[in-house]
Every structure is written in structure tokens, then in C-alpha cells.
Amino acid sequence: MPRKTRIISSMLIVIFTLIVLEIRLYYIQIVSHHRYRKMADKQSFSVRQANFKRGTIYDRNGKELAIEFEVSSVYAIPSFISNPEETARKLAPLLHMSEKAIRKKLETSNSFVWLRRKIDTKIAEKIKGLHFKGIKFISEGKRFYPENELASQVIGLAGLDNQGLSGIENFFDRTLRRKTKKTIRRKDGFGREVIAADTAYRSEVSGFGVVTTIDRVIQYIAEVELRKAYNETKAKLATIIVQDSKTGELLALANFPSFNGNSSSPGKYKYLKNPAISNIFEPGSTFKPIVAAALLEENLVTLEDRFYCEEGVYLFNGLPIRDHEGEDWLTFIQVLEKSSNIGMAKAGQLLGKDKLYQYARDFGFGNFTGIRLPGETPGILKKPKDWSEISLSRLSFGQGIGVTAIQLISAFSCLANGGVLMEPMIVKRIVEPSGKVVKEFQPCPVRGVISYKTAKTLTNILCRVVEKGTGEKAKIMGYRVAGKTGTAQKFDPETGKYSDTNYIASFIGYLPAEQPKVTILVILDEPQGYYWGGSIAAPVFARVGLRIMHHLGIPPDSQEMFRNLPHEVAYIGPPL
Amino acid sequence: MGKKDLRTQKRKWGDPGYKLKKGLYTPEYHRGDIFLLSVVLFLVFIGVVMVFSASAIVSHEKFDTSYLFLIKQIIWTVMGVFLMLVLARIDYNKLQKFSRPLMVFSFSLLVLVLLIEPGEIKRWLKFGMVNFQPSEMAKICLILYIADVLDRKGSKLQDFKKGLLPILAVTGVFLILIYAEPDLGTAVILGLVVLAMLFMGGVRLSHLLSLVLASIPLLYFAVFHVGYRRERILTFINPWADAQRIGYQIVQALLALGSGGFFGKGLGASRAKLFFLPEPYTDFIFSIIGEELGFLGASLIIFLFVIIAWRGLHIATKAPNQFGNLLAAGITFLITFQAVLNISIVTACLPTKGITLPFLSYGGSSLVFSLAGVGILLNISRQT
């Protein structure tokens, strides 16, 4: 074979093999394309729930009550770490982990290993400053409550996986998360997320913000005063609600004991429930104005009508009704002033079962108020046909009915608001992260319960209660206060009787009486020692009320200012 | 272009007599194979672009800069192209005299790398940032040497003892040294290139056949007595059996190629390079090309190598003397046959071996010596 033929044949073999490879390439890239693409997609894409930054919860003035901030989680790619010993030695003090534990993680054959999750940003910055190869960071979201325990039971709590567990966090979970639609995530060979130009970076998208009606300052005032009373009276549970009398917006809502959303101890999960909307209690005397409103609206009594109060004990159908102090004849105003159970029981008889039931329903008792918080109960209000012989008389002074604090304060705001019942509001609006309003919640009138005139009359009576009656300790210098005390014996399910030792002391009222701005309810459940609503709940009301008036900048009434005051007391406060 | 016209022609770059100083050019010269030069430069250009595309993310992850591999590859390319242009101007016949000194130099480097390099794998001589691979140099030197010996021995070749044995002895020493690095891939390539050159040089077919039969047990020993190589061979039979571990690389290469489709995902859009395919810029760069530029791009690469084979064949057959014939054929065979092996491995037609794709894979020594080979080829072409 001549040399040239040999050269040509060798090279032709090479060219021939290249052509064969071209056919092989055609088979891989064209014929099997779909099969391989599917397999490649499978390893580099994964579908997951969109993990948007959780929306912020604001108070009514835009102050943040719950925010999500980015924290860093540290991971390592062991194959990139050239010197595990040195790396471990330097990282150990920063991560608060033992050198041995870190080394063990760094020397694994995995391509990815968590070192520590959700660490402090400052520490993350320090580690970044060391410039270790193969030590990387991922930012994750963590819920933080800037005001700690403030309004914690209203705001609620978001769990470790950013799911709402209670309060607004729970009720508006979908809104705060914004989207639950699935997104496609791109991965690299280590399973880490690839931020490509076409995929949105997570922190740029945030859930909707929720603007609550809570006023951070009023909430703070309420909590400070309530905590003081809670500690002094050693009550089992204390609740305070401040509501805008006109609109039904809740300006403050607090219970003790409560929790701090930032605390890491599991103890906080005990207090997730919000007693103000889910605990039922018998209102006692605070229910009397409701009955009185019905009586006046139906023109069944006049203010001057007299009731014989039996010197303190009245046997009705064989069961005694007792008064705190024995009286003989009292006008209807005095019955309320002195909070006479006997007087109310007798007045209630004039109203009749059906009317009383109807008015109680109209004031919102025995039904959901519609507040946008989880766990609300409707309370207990039996139908008249299920009532016993004595039910009417008992109900007239607030026994035999189960109410929630939110129902009670809404009913009183109805009196303050000229007889129109408003739905209690906790959320003002839903906003985008940019501040653009998505949805605005308007104050929602439920129904007109009593006439304006009746409401005004009742307000005057309630002012008398504070001026001369049981609520004297609720007086606030410079403001006319309308209010009612309540001291309810607790029903003991074990003995089937009303307890002589366990009481619920409460005070509810609104001010200024001429043009009510806020309604305030204070409840102290099972206080030790003094248990009269007028002596322990009314002072809390007075202190909170005064400070709220100052905060809202509502000028005192000058007439009110100098009435019943010794002339040497000088006025110190905002200009008149 | 006939010889007679040359003196009346306007002088251009590369024309004979353009630089008459010291007789560097003789009147027999002409412009050389511009077609081959263009194809090689085009391949080198694609190589630089693809090395950057494939290495940027790995480089960023490991060295905090995306450009490390790109910059190195550009520096090597510039050096390689310079060496190519210089060799294109040196009469290849002069190289014949240097073939034996070059062999000694190459041999001593191969010994040196085994002696001084620490660690298990002794393929590179390391000078700070620069790694030099003696086996890449050995390829070109051995081709030069074999061409020289075949040319000189002439009819003696037909005699096994006097003709073939010395060649086989020298080749064998080289192969053992490279095998000891260990670099079986390069050793196998070199062995096959020498075999092809012996065939093209006119060695008797019976001798060659017995040589092939004799080397089979050696190859079997080399492969099946080293654990990882045996695994690779077994993996080749069924890469999907253990796609997460041993078959991982070849499976990833197939996924990359296959998911590219006809038009590819677009330059830079490879997903395999995101740490799925290990070291995507070296031996497996062809799969990244297939993924990003599709069947179209990959076919272009194969087509360019076919052109190189065709031009090389043309030059080899037209070379003015026997030394030129064999040298041109050897170099062409080395470059194109490496491409064949590399693409066969990437397309899972052959078991995984460390074989670079000439002009395209990242790696300085391979690029520089491939370009040097093309330089010699160009010089031969200028004398046809």
C-alpha cells in the first residue's frame, strides 16, 4: 500500500468517525431532546409555595406593631473549605458553638450543610468580614414585635414558619401572606436557589400591611394602668377596652396576664386566647343601663317614678334579691345611681320578657359582634320561652346572661352614640407595602336601638351615677363622665349558687358626656380584698380616661372644671 | 500559485522574500493555508467565549471573581497564537535536526514532574500561578521524533528488530512515564497516534497487527487494576445505574447536551454549569456548547474539526518531502483524533477519560501545543 493511500485512509477514518459522532449527537440532541430536557428540568427546578415577606401590622397612626426583618442563616459548602480546623476555630466563638461540632459539620461529604439558622445580623456581618471560602449566607424572614408585649393579644402571634397563630396575625393571615400560589424555583447543583434575572427576589415582594385601629399611645396608657390595678388587686384576669364611641373603632384592648411575642419561651402560647372577646361573664350592674334604656324608650317609666326598695331584701318568687344598702323609696334615677337590684327587678317587670329580650338582642347581646378577630363567642342569651319565673327579674340587674367584654362596650358606645349601635372595628385598612390603600374598612352602623333623646337622657342618668352615685371614683377633673359600676357575684358551677367570695368588678363609661369621644371598659376578674367595681375598677377608668383626654387633646369643660371643687385648687393642664 | 510568478507578485505578509534577512524564507514559500488558519482561530475564539461562559460562576464561587479562567485562557491563547505564527515562519525541515534534543528535553521534563511534584497526581509542573503539563509537550515532540525516524530509516522499517524496535522502545518509555503520572488518557492517545504514524509511515501491517495484539493485555492490566478506572468502564456500560455517584458526570453531560435541543438555550444560559456538571470548562466543555448553542453549535464544532482533518490531509499529501508528509499527518491526526475521543466520551460512546477538546477546553499547555502543532502544519502548507 503506498504511503499516500495509507495517510488518506487514516484521515478518512477520522472524518468518518466525526460523521458518526454527528449522528450520535443528532440522536441525543434532537431525538432524545424531550426526555433529557424533562430530566434536566426535574433536577434544576422545584415547585414551592411562594414565600413572600409577611406584611407589617400598624397602629392607626402608622407605627409598626409587627414587622418581618431579614436574619441570616449560615451554611457551608464543605468541599470549598480548605482548612476546616482553622475555620472551625474562628467560627466557634461567633456562632456560640463548639469547635468540634463545627468541624464535624465542615468535614462531612455533603455538598451543603447548615451551620446555624437565624443568627444576629451583626454576627453575620462579622463572619462575612472574615471572607471564608465556602461559608455562605441565606437571608430568612423572622417576625419581630417592636413594642414587645404591647397589644400582643390583639396583634397575635406568627409561628416559626410565619403562619398566624392568633389575633390579627391569624385572622388576616391570608392578607399578610398575600399569596399562596406556587412559584417555580431554580436550583443549582448544590440545591441552592439561583436568583436569575427573570425571577423576582423575595424581599421585594411583601404581603399586604394591616392598619389596626389601635392607638399605640392609648394602648400603652391602658396597659400601664391596667397592670397597676392587676398587681394591686391580685385579680385572676384583668381586661380593659377603649373604644371610639362614635365609630366603634377599638383604640386599645388589653388583658392581663399577657405575653411578649418576641420571647422565645413556650410559656407565651398559654395566653394566645383573647379573653376580651372569648370569655363570657355575667355583667351584673353594668347591664342595668341597658334595661333602663329599654324602659325609657318604651315610655314605661319616667325619671321621677318611685320604686320601693324593701329595705335591702326582697323575696321574689321565694328567692331573695339583695341590695348593697337598704333603701325605702327611690326614684328611677336613684335606682340607677345607687345601683339598686330590687328597684331594677321591679322596673324590669314593667318591661316584660319579650321586650327585654328584644332590646338585649338589639344592643348586640347573644350574638357575634362581627369583630375581625379569631375566637369570638356570641355569649349566652336564652330565648324568653326558656326563661324561668325569676329570669326576668334577675336579668334586669344583669344576672342570667352571659356577655363578652366586646359586646358590653359596644352596647355602651351605642348609648354614647345617640342610640346607634356600631360594629366594633379593629382594622382600619389594608395597604400595600408602598402605602397604597387596598381596602378601607368604614365604620359600620348595625342598627338604631334607641332614640337620640333616650340616649341623651340615659347619659344624664349615668353622669349622675358618677357625680353622686356608686361611680364617684370615676370622676375626672374637667370632664363630665357617664358611667356605671358593676360588681357581679360569680356563679359557682360546683355549688350551683352565686359565690360570696368571687366577684367580677367592672366599670364602664364614656366621656366627655356631652360629646362622647371614648368608651372605656375596665374588668377585674376575681380581685382579692376590695371587690367593688366602684372602688377598684372606677379609679382605673378615671386615670386612663384623663390621660386619653390629654393625649387626644380634648379640652376640659370649664364649667365642669370648677364645679364641686374647693376654690383654692388651681387648674394645671392644657389651655381651656 | 506557481513558483514562477512569485518574483513578479506584489509582496504581502507571508510571501516569500518579504523578510529576506538571514534567509529565513526561501523562494519556495507561499502564503500557506489561510483556510486552516481561519478555522483554527475561529475555534480558539469559540473556545475563549465558551470557557468564560462555562467557568464564570464556578470561578466566582471559588475565587470571588468571574474572570479568572477567562483571563488565563486569553493569556494562553495570545501566547499560543504567537508561537503558532513564529513556527509558521520557521522551515519545518530545520525542526528535524532538533527532534532528538527536544525528545531529551521532553523526557527530562516528564521525569522531573514525577520526581518533584508532591501529591498523588503528578501531571503538572507548577510555577506559582502557571501550571505546565509536560505530557502535552511530549505529544508534539514524539510526533516530530517519529516523523524524523520514519523518514531516516526508510527501507529499514520493514525489519522489525532494526527498524521498529528502537521506535517502540522510545515510545514505550514515554508512555510508561505518562502512565505513571497517572494520565492514561494522554498515554492512550499518544500510543494510538504513534500507531497511526507507523501505519502511515509504511510499517508492515503484520507488524502493526501483532503490536496491537501485544498491547491489549497491557491495556487490560492498566484499566482493570486501578479501581476508579474499572468503575469508569463499568459506568460507561450503564451510566444510569448510579447516576448520583459514579455515573454522575456522564449523566450530567448527557442531560446538558440533550436539554439543549436544536437551537440551544442561548449563550450563557446553561444550567449544567451551575454546579451540576463538575468542571464544565475543561474536558466536558462540548456538552456546555451543546446545551447553550444547541445541535447547531455542536455540529459546527464537529464540522470545523472535519475541515481541519481535510486541510491536514491535503497538506500531508502535498508536502514536499516524506518528513513533511508524516509530520503533517501526525499533527493532524493528533488534533482531530483527540477531538474524536473527547466528543465520543461526552456523548457517552466511550468511557470517561481525561482528554481535552483541542482549542476549546480550558488548559494552557494543551492550547499552546495544539497551536504550535498548527504552526508547523501551516509552515508545511506554505511549501506545498
Q: What does the DSSP 8-state code read for residue A366?
A: T
Assess whether pLDDT exceeds 80 at residue A234.
yes
Q: Which pLDDT score is estimated for A203? A: 43
**Per-residue confidence (pLDDT) for residue B54, from 0 to 100:** 92
- Residue A388 is predicted with a pLDDT of 85
pLDDT tens for each residue of B217-233: 888 887 777 666 777 77
Domain regions of chain A by residue span: 216-562
Instruction: Give the model's pLDDT for residue A51.
Output: 59
Task: Name the band, by pLDDT with cuts 50, 70 and 90, for residue B314.
Answer: very high
Q: Is the pLDDT of residue A384 over 80?
A: yes
CA distance A108 to chain B (A): 16
pLDDT tens profile A470-482: 888 888 888 999 9
Cβ pair B202:A17 closer than 8 A: no
3 state SS of A42: helix
B 27-56 residues with CB below 8 A of A?
none
Average pLDDT over residues B288-315: 95
Instruction: Give dist(CA B89, CA B379) in Å, integer.
Output: 6
* Per-chain mean pLDDT for chain A: 86
Q: Do A6 and B200 touch (CB under 8 A)?
A: yes
Distance from the Cα of B278 to chain A's closest Cα (Å) equals 9
**Are residues B325 and A18, on separate chains, in Cβ contact within 8 Å?**
no
Query: Mind telling me how many Å the CA of A181 is from chain B's nearest CA?
Result: 25
| Three-state DSSP class for residue B382 | helix
If pLDDT is split at 50, 70 and 90, which confidence band does A187 have?
confident
Stronger pLDDT, A430 or B204, i.e. the higher one: A430
- Partners of A69 in the beta sheet? A142
Nearest to A508 by CA among A414, A369, A420: A414
Which cell goes with B23? Answer: 534567509
User: Distance (Å) from the C-alpha of residue B143 to the closest C-alpha of chain A?
Assistant: 15
Mean pLDDT value across residues B333-357: 91
Q: Is A194 on the interface with B (CB under 8 A)?
A: yes
Cα distances (Å, whole numbers) of residue A270 to A166, A226, A291, B163, B359: 11, 20, 37, 96, 70
Average pLDDT over residues A109-126: 79
What stretches of A247-330 show up as alpha helix (H) in DSSP? 275-278, 288-297
User: What was the pLDDT predicted at A197?
Assistant: 44
Give the pLDDT band (50/70/90) at residue B129.
Answer: confident
Structure confidence at residue A477 (pLDDT)? 84
**pLDDT given at position B328:** 94
- Looking at the domain covering A216-562, what would its CATH class be? alpha beta
What is the Cα–Cα distance from A33 to A53, expressed in whole angstroms? 38
Inter-chain touch A188–B275, beta carbons under 8 Å: yes
- Is the pLDDT at B46 greater than 90? The verdict is yes
| B158 near A CB under 8 A | no
- What is the pairing mode between strands A45-49 and A445-448? unpaired
Q: What is the pLDDT of residue A225?
A: 93
Q: Which residue of B has its CA nearest to A9?
A: B200
Measured CA angle at A437 (ends A436, A440), to 5 deg: 170
The chain A residue lying nearest B328, using CA atoms, is A7
Mean pLDDT for the stretch of residues A282-306:
91
Q: What is the DSSP string of A319-347?
A: EEEE-SS--SEEEHHHHHHTT-HHHHHHH
Query: Which residue has better confidence, A491 or B242?
Result: A491
| Contact indicator for A242, A519 with CB cutoff of 8 Å | yes
**CB-CB under 8 Å, B317 with A29:** no
Ordered by start, the domain boundaries in chain B are: 32-382
B339 chain-A contacts, CB cut-off 8 A = 18
What ipTM was reported for this prediction? 0.89
Q: Inform me whether the C-beta atom of residue B105 falls under 8 Å from chain A C-beta atoms.
A: no
pLDDT tens-digit readout, B185-197? 899 999 999 999 9
Tell me which chain A residues have a C-beta less than 8 angstroms from the C-beta of B272. Answer: 40
- Does the CB of B384 have a partner CB in chain A at under 8 Å? no
Q: What mean pLDDT do residues B321-350 have?
A: 93
pLDDT for residue A541 is more than 70: yes
| Distance in angstroms (rounded) separating the CA atoms of residues A337 and A351 | 20
Are A24 and B347 an interchain contact pair (Cβ–Cβ within 8 Å)? yes
Between A13-17, A410-414, B55-59, B241-245, the lowest mean confidence (pLDDT) is in B241-245
